[in-house]
Structure 1
Amino acid sequence: MHVFLETDRLTLRAFTNADAGHVRGVVDDCEVMRYINGGRPSSDGEVEGEIMPRFLHGYPCLGRPGFWAAEDRGSGAFLGWFVFRPEADDSCREIELGYRLGRAAWGRGLATEGSRALIDKGFSELGVERVTANTMTVNTRSRRVMEKSGLSFVRTFFEEWPDVIEGSELGDVEYALTRADWERRTSRS
């Protein structure tokens, strides 16, 4: 098992094909998927045919995948995952941050804890210059995680998505944090 990083309460490790059942448990929860696809459960073969190959894909500039299985550090229970992947395969200068945790992990600050640790690792060890994150405008919980993780609102934007979701007419938001802003923040701590 390749451990990417650990926090006080989380272990983030590389995915394996054996994680497909855990992933299905998360993506089949309508509340978890509410702001992703309107709460629709995954279709037959979607986890094995689309999601897992994306989770296992290695990024040349990272030398590793950009999706990390999140486990409870104490019990080893699967909680969901974090995304920390380059916007382009050949450059780690700009990284997308994301998270999807099962409901059992909600309300405990785990998304913020994992996001902060990834951001710190990206800027201190991986040569990242900018971290971005996106969500629906109406997804206030995810926006709060972004803010608590140090990212700032950049813009609201509108794109065509395959699923029409309640609130999508209000668009999506982008948040970001630059290396310079991160360095200022960490020097004050």
Structure 2
Amino acid sequence: MTTLLETERLVLRRFGTDDLDELAALHGDPEVMRYIDTGRPQPREVVAAEVLPAILRGYRELPEGMGTFAVVGKGDGAFLGWVALRPADSVGLAAGSTELGYRFRPAAWGRGYATEAARAVVGYAFDSGTTEAVVATTMAVNAGSRRVMVKTGLRHVRTFHEEWPDHIEGAEHGDVEYLVTRREWEAQRPTDGRW
């Protein structure tokens, strides 16, 4: 598998077809999917027929360094989740920016893995010159995801309301957008370049 980045505890690498079981388990977990899309888990057959092929296609079609990357433990190679950088296409985000996304197994929550992976890809995006700003969005009630955005260095820029075809509990509170510009990122970076 092609490695994009390594951090102190993590390896961020491309997905392969042999990652279907792990990806299907992640997308099939009700806790993981609670605030995403329809709020319901995705069946394995949808992950196999649509999700994984779209991830693999992204490596061919997106600019270098963009896509969805498996996050695994550096020591044991255990699958923890994924982190993504892609042209912004989530509902409510302006086209032309770079969007940060992530999903992690509940067993990995609260250990700083999402923040560590997100910081790595945001830093990569700025260091490689592929973007001037990184944005992320989630439901306003998704406190865990919002904490990751703040710890990654993004700031809340707005709360907005969209019409969704499927109601998810908490949707009445809207969605939030977070952002960090290249200038803001550089001002936050420790002098030794490490987070």
Amino acid at match of 1:139: N
Amino acid at match of 2:2: H
Against the structure 1 CA distance between its residues 48 and 60, is the aligned structure 2 distance closer, same or farther, given a 3 Å change threshold? closer
Structure 2, unmatched stretches of 5+, are: 90-95
TM-score (norm 1): 0.90
Q: Percent identity between the aligned chains?
A: 48
Pairwise CA distance, 1:121: 0.8
Match for residue 106 of structure 1 among 96, 106, 109:
109
Pairwise CA distance, 1:40: 2.2
C-alpha contact 1:62 1:126 (8 A) present in aligned 2: no
CA distance in 2, matches of 1:108, 1:74: 15
The match for 2:21 is: 21
Point out 4+ residue stretches in structure 1 off by more than 4 angstroms: none
Moved more, 20-29 or 42-51: 42-51
Matched length: 186
The match for 2:145 is: 142
The root-mean-square deviation of aligned C-alpha atoms, in Å, is 2.1
The match for 1:68 is: 69
The match for 1:125 is: 128
**1:71-110 superposed Cα distances (whole Å, 9 cap, x missing partner):** 011100111100111227xxxx621101100011111011
Against the structure 1 CA distance between its residues 161 and 58, is the aligned structure 2 distance closer, same or farther, given a 3 Å change threshold? farther
Against the structure 1 CA distance between its residues 15 and 41, is the aligned structure 2 distance closer, same or farther, given a 3 Å change threshold? same
1:97 aligns with 2:82: no
The match for 1:177 is: 180
Structure 1, unmatched stretches of 5+, are: none
CA distance in 2, matches of 1:167, 1:44: 26
The match for 2:8 is: 8
TM-score (norm 2): 0.87
In terms of fraction of residues, the more strand-rich structure is: 1
CA distance in 1, matches of 2:64, 2:191: 32
